[in-house]
A = this chain, B = another copy of it.
């Protein structure tokens, strides 16, 4: 982040300091600083804003006029009972000026989350996908789900300012699924381009565990932490890392894929359990027997762990074996990064405290540090929520950019 961009979070800058005195840059800086103050600080009067941003009242008034014209600022309704005389006008950030859409696509389901520019939920939808469908069929189902979601929320397509999608696998910088063992036929699909056909706004694609990490940092268990490993536990166990409060994607988008090492046993975690290749029927007992014929679909894993949560001795054994299979991979990531905390989320976390407690017991002895291991509180929503965060970050980039005309948006 440049010095100029950084300064936006503090206030406006004067003409002799950072930007060489270019008046259009100065205007954009002041506009961005005012907009940020309104968005982050809530409704304000002209006087409050001018003081906060460090501009004169006439300059602030001009900036507010321009932001109102762009649809980003509106006058707020007067506060009742605010004293005698005419109350001072109050201004607010128009969070409803645009929307962000987050999409989670995995082997058997698509989930959507729609929010306004302030990240407040404005809609959502979920639909089943055929596990053995072709990429084209999968994409068609995603498009149909988007259509339903927008119609239900009464949001028209041009009001979408950014879309982000999360999916298992390694996502190359251009949005291609470079590697994926979980979704059949997904490898080689340029998901950014394919989804991009449906939208006129920017479309971003990211690994699902990476998005879960963004969500934990935004609204989950990692709000106060800068260095975090997020474990997304599903059919395959994925991991994402935040370093210095930012998502660490890696050079080719492949960071966190430590589970690829066969020694660490993260691949097809639950598949191995359910089909019995890992623990055998005698260990998984009655729980396994009931679902064995259904094969390694995610729903079964969830049922398995729901059953484990009910507390039978056999179910507990299954959770212990599952934790054992995940422990070395999680410990490897903890040893590599020595994070402040590890957050365990994803579909399997329905097993909740039981799985997390087992992981604490099994991961810690492998580590050199007294690493904190916490359960996600976001439930199934973490990937979609992280996708929305990524889309909002992209919108912020556009909104607060100062190196082009502010009127471009």
Contacts and interface: CB of A to CB of B under 8 A. Distances in A.
Interface of A: 3, 6-7, 9-11, 13-18, 54, 170, 178-179, 227, 241, 243-244, 246, 248-261, 263-264, 328, 331-333, 335-340, 366-371
A328 B264 CA distance: 10
Nearest to A55: B16
B368 A336 contact: no
A201 to B, nearest CB: 28
B338 A250 contact: yes
Given A243-B248, A256-B335, A261-B328, 19 more contacts: A3-B7, A3-B9, A11-B17, A14-B17, A170-B369, A227-B251, A244-B244, A250-B339, A251-B371, A252-B368, A254-B335, A254-B368, A255-B337, A257-B338, A259-B335, A260-B366, A260-B368, A332-B336, A336-B336
A332 B7 contact: no
Say what secondary structure dominates the interface of chain A: loop
A15 B252 CA distance: 44
A14 B14 CA distance: 7
A244 B245 CA distance: 12
Contacts of A246: 244
A165 to B, nearest CB: 20
Contacts of A243: 243-244, 248
A236 B246 CA distance: 32
Given A18-B7, A332-B261, A332-B332, A251 B369 contact: yes
Given A7-B3, A16-B14, A332 B264 contact: yes
A367 B261 CA distance: 8
Contact of A227 (B244, B250, B339): B250
A14 B338 CA distance: 41
Contacts of A13: 17-18
